[in-house]
Structure formats: C-alpha cells, structure tokens
C-alpha cells in the first residue's frame, strides 16, 4: 500500500531516499511494489510501512546508513531472508522506518580448514554457507527447513535451532566471533576465530538472539566440523510420547554423539502432509499414534552406521518401545523420510489458520506436558486439532493448534481472535513446567506482550537496561522483543 504523505513529509521522504541512494546507489533503494515483499512477514500476519527498503553492499555502507538514520531520526529494521516466524523483520505502521536488507552482504570471506572456521557475511543464505563448508571438506551443521532463504545474520539474530542442535548446538554455540554495526553507526570488528577468549563481557552473546534490537550483524566467524563419512536414517512408529522419551534414552546409550537427529511428530501431522502434499507418502502400511525420525551421523563407513542403527532398533523392539520401523536404504530414501518431517509446516498452512507455539520444557517432562496441555485445550476450545512436532532431543516442540475442522461453527478468523486465550493456556503450562515460551523462533512482535508475563521483573529490567545502553534512542528495530 503506498503511504499518502502531506507535502512537507513527501519532500522530506524524497530527500531521505536521495541521501540513501548516495550511499548504496539508486538501484538499491527500493520503494513501491519492489519494497512490498519486505513489508510483510512470511506468515502474512504482520504488515508495516517503510520510507524505503535499502540494500547495502558492504559493512561500511551499513554503517553509513545507520548514521544517516540517526541524523534523520529513522528506525532501522534489519531483514535477511524474511523467513522469521514472529514478525521480527517487519516494520511497524510508522512513517519513519527504514528496512535494511542484508542480502547483498553475500560473500564467504574466508575458510580456515585447520582452525575449522569460516567467516561469512550476514546475507549469505544458510544453504550456501553449508555448501561452502562442504566444498572445503567441512560440515557447517546448522540446518532448518527455510535454509534456502534464511540468512546467517537472521540465524544468529534469532539464535536459530533446527534439526542438528542435539549434536552441534544452536546458532549461538556455532558462532565464535561477530562483526556488528552499532546503533551509533560504529563498526565493531569482533571476528575472532578463538575457542577460548576470556577478556571481559561477551558482547557477541548480546547480539546473538537480539533480533536486530541492539545492532546489525554484518559478518560472523562460525565453527566447522569434520564431514561425517556416513549417515543412517530411520523412521519408527510408536504409541505415545513416553515411549519416544525412553527411545531417546536408548538411542543416546547406543549411539552417543553419533545421534544427530531425533524428531517427533504425531499421526495427525503425517495425515496433513499426505493430504496436502500427495507426492509424499508414509512408508508404513498401518498408522501409528506417533513417529520418530532418527538420524545417526558417523565417522565410520555406511555398514558400521547401519549396523548401529539396526542394533538400536532391535533393542527398541525387544523393549517394546516401538511398533514398526523403516531404515532408509539410500540417500534418496533418507530425503523422503526427512521430507515428511520438514513438510509439516507447509501442510499445516495449507490446512488453514493455526496458532503456533514454539516451546521447550525439560526433556524428561515433555510427555506429561503434552498430556496435560492437550486436555486443557480440548476442554477450553472444543474441537481444536493439535499439530505437534519438533525436536524431541532438545526438549523443543512446535506445539501448534489448528482451528477446529469444517462444521465446528468456529471459522479461521474466529479461532485466531482467540489467540490470546490459547497462548495463555499453553504458555502458563510451559511456565509451570519450567519451560520457555520461545525455544527457537524468538519474540519479535508476535510474542512481545507475553514476555513480561513469564520473565521476572528483575530480568525484564536488566534487558531494558542493556537496550538503553546500546541503543539509547530506540532506533534499532523498535517494538520488537521489548516495547
């Protein structure tokens, strides 16, 4: 939607765009239809406005833009791949927003195989970072379904998780150093490649997970790992989440750090995938209440990995933890099994509106959490359909609630209007179980109002003081995380 501005404002906006164009070149100041895709979030839940969307081509240009924003009193909203799920990269409806798109910060600056590190710019898509590492004979293990578009800067700013956290940790644990443009427009070159560095406050950890509210990450030094020689993938069917937890324990005993993936999903998730993506099919003849996708990554050959997987599944059958299992016989079959898990979000979106919760609780309490919370939701919102999947090995579930089906009398819009009540039910439970209301996706604008409910006043005050110290004019991504 074009913004209608009074004359003086329109003149000022034109002057600002001209000043921006002097920094990045006119081709990289987007307005009108070119800017539109950057003004809404991936789920189309939030839409905002901006004077311009700018695409800087270097760290120095980012710094110049931030200084210009300070002179002109503009808010700066950093955006990478715009795949975030909580509206963090979407500007508000104000008329002084600048969306700073990082996609031209796209260089892999260096790879040091012996040090097992790679320096990459913030706009590099995650998939390309993985490829660059592989070409150098190394593994960059961060992996998530949006990796074709999501950027390293976005991954670090949301402290992204994904499917390999169990073995390698989340984005924070994979990052050794950062280059950041501060809210003042200074460049902090903190790209150290050290595993050990105890020299005062850890500024890097402040910017990671800050969702662009403290500064702009322009580059990062990330950890690399040896490439596994083989992987083994299996899908098992089982009866309940308690069994899945006992299977996790067994898998850790059998496979230790070879276990790199342990993903849970319910039968309803699989049904949605089969219904909305007919090319994908369950490998089982009968259905099971729950499924777990297990992945082993090994530094021994494929025979050794398969033997380990067979051993584990044999023990699980003997212990009556699982009802059925398939082991992928090829890379293509492994990809098909992963596709079932990774297509759940897409299938759920095709089914209609849903309310997402991205929660974690201590792993040992997950089954109890699911049982109790399912019962509470069923009682308070009759007919809602639970779409439960996630990274069981990390205690993190995408505990999503879909609108009741056709004929329930509650349409999608009516259901979404009840989001605050659904949040309250689930998040109060999460809190009671000692969990987190955002394990992966962050707070953004979607969950900002929830935060003070569950964080102590002391923690909120400390966060506000950090924000005040690093961004006293509240110019960096205002309205996100904190109000």
For residue 212, state whether it binds ligand FAD (rule: CB under 6 A): yes
List 48, 56, 88, 395, residue binding ligand FAD (CB under 6 A) = 88
Among Zn ion, ligand FAD, none, partner that 260 touches (CB below 5 to 8 angstroms by kind): none
List 48, 56, 141, 161, residue binding ligand FAD (CB under 6 A) = 161
- Which CB, 122 or 328, lies closer to ligand FAD? 122
| Stretch of residues binding ligand FAD (CB under 6 A), selected from 21-29, 63-71, 208-216, 250-258 | 208-216
Instruction: Give 292-347 as a DSSP string.
Output: EEEEEEESS-HHHHHHHHHHHHHHHHHTT--SEEEE-SSHHHHHHHHHHHHTHHHH
**426 Cβ neighbours under 8 A, 6+ residues apart:** 357, 359, 373, 377, 399, 401
List 51, 66, 160, 322, residue binding ligand FAD (CB under 6 A) = 160
CA distances from 91 to 3, 54, 289, 329, 433 (A): 14, 13, 41, 47, 34
Question: Which residue lies nearest ligand FAD, judged by its C-beta?
Answer: 154
For residue 145, state whether it binds ligand FAD (rule: CB under 6 A): yes
Nearest by Cα to 174 from 199, 146, 144 = 144
For residue 162, state whether it binds ligand FAD (rule: CB under 6 A): yes
List 133, 477, 479, 482, residue binding ligand FAD (CB under 6 A) = 477
* DSSP state at residue 359: E
Among Zn ion, ligand FAD, none, partner that 347 touches (CB below 5 to 8 angstroms by kind): none
The owner of tokens 């995938």 is 273
List 102, 298, 360, 402, residue binding ligand FAD (CB under 6 A) = 102
Q: How far, in Å, CA of 272 to CA of 388, rounded?
A: 12
Residue 96 and residue 117 in contact, taking contact as beta carbons nearer than 8 Å: no
Cα 456 from chain centroid? 25
The owner of tokens 């955002």 is 438
Minimum distance between the CB of residue 160 and ligand FAD, rounded to whole angstroms?
Answer: 3
For residue 255, state whether it binds ligand FAD (rule: CB under 6 A): no
Contact set for Zn ion, span 440-479 (CB under 5 A): 440
Q: How far, in Å, CA of 211 to CA of 468, rounded?
A: 15
The owner of tokens 């924003």 is 69
For residue 211, state whether it binds ligand FAD (rule: CB under 6 A): yes
For residue 282, state whether it binds ligand FAD (rule: CB under 6 A): no
**11 Cβ neighbours under 8 A, 6+ residues apart:** none
For residue 445, state whether it binds ligand FAD (rule: CB under 6 A): no
For residue 377, state whether it binds ligand FAD (rule: CB under 6 A): no
List 117, 158, 305, 360, residue binding ligand FAD (CB under 6 A) = 158
Cα 451 from chain centroid? 18
Residue 282 and residue 347 in contact, taking contact as beta carbons nearer than 8 Å: no
| Stretch of residues binding Zn ion (CB under 5 A), selected from 76-84, 189-197, 248-256, 434-442 | 434-442
Minimum distance between the CB of residue 126 and ligand FAD, rounded to whole angstroms?
Answer: 8
Cα 442 from chain centroid? 8
- Which CB, 106 or 192, lies closer to ligand FAD? 106
Residues in the site for ligand FAD, rule: CB under 6 A? 42, 77-85, 88-89, 102, 122, 144-146, 150-151, 153-155, 157-158, 160-162, 211-212, 216-217, 345, 440-441, 444, 477, 480
Residues in the site for Zn ion, rule: CB under 5 A? 440
């Amino acid at each position: 939607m074009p913004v209608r501005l009074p004359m003086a404002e329109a003149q000022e906006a034109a002057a600002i765009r001209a000043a921006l164009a002097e920094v990045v070149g006119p081709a990289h100041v987007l307005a009108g239809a070119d800017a539109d895709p950057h003004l809404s979030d991936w789920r189309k839940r939030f839409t905002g406005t901006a004077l311009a969307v700018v695409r800087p081509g270097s760290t120095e240009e980012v710094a110049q833009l931030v200084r210009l924003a300070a002179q002109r009193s503009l808010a700066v909203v950093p955006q990478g791949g715009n795949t975030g799920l909580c509206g963090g990269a979407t500007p508000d409806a104000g008329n002084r927003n600048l969306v700073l798109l990082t996609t031209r910060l796209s260089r892999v600056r260096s790879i040091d195989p012996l040090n097992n590190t790679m320096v990459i710019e913030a706009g590099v898509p995650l998939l390309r970072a993985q490829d660059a590492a592989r070409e150098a004979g190394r593994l960059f293990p961060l992996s998530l379904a949006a990796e074709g578009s999501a950027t390293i800067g976005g991954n670090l700013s949301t402290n992204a998780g994904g499917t390999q956290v169990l073995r390698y940790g989340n984005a924070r644990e994979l990052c050794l150093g950062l280059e950041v443009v501060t809210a003042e427009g200074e460049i902090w070159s903190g790209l150290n490649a050290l595993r050990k560095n105890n020299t005062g406050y850890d500024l890097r950890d402040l910017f990671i997970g800050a969702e662009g509210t403290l500064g702009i990450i322009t580059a990062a030094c990330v950890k690399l790992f040896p490439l596994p020689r083989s992987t083994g993938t299996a899908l098992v069917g089982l009866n309940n989440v308690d069994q899945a937890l006992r299977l996790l324990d067994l898998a850790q005993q059998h496979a230790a750090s070879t276990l790199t993936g342990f993903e849970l999903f319910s039968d309803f998730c699989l049904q949605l995938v089969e219904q909305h993506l007919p090319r994908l099919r369950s490998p089982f003849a009968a259905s099971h209440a729950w499924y777990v996708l297990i992945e082993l990554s090994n530094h021994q050959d494929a025979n050794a990995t398969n033997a380990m997987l067979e051993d584990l599944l044999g023990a699980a059958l003997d212990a009556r933890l699982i009802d059925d299992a398939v082991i992928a016989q090829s890379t293509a079959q492994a990809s098909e099994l992963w596709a079932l898990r990774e297509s759940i979000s897409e299938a759920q979106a095709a089914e209609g509106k849903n309310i997402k919760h991205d929660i974690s609780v201590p792993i040992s309490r997950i089954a109890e959490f699911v049982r109790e919370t399912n019962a509470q939701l069923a009682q308070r919102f009759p007919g809602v359909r639970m779409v439960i999947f996630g990274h069981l090995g990390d205690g993190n579930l995408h505990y999503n609630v879909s609108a009741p089906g056709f004929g329930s009398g509650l349409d999608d819009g009516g259901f979404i209007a009840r989001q605050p009540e659904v949040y309250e039910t689930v998040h109060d439970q999460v809190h009671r179980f000692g969990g987190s209301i955002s394990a992966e996706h962050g707070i953004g604008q979607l969950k900002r109002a929830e935060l003070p409910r569950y964080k102590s006043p002391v923690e909120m005050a400390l966060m506000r003081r950090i924000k005040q110290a690093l961004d006293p004019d509240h110019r960096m991504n205002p309205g996100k995380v904190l109000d």
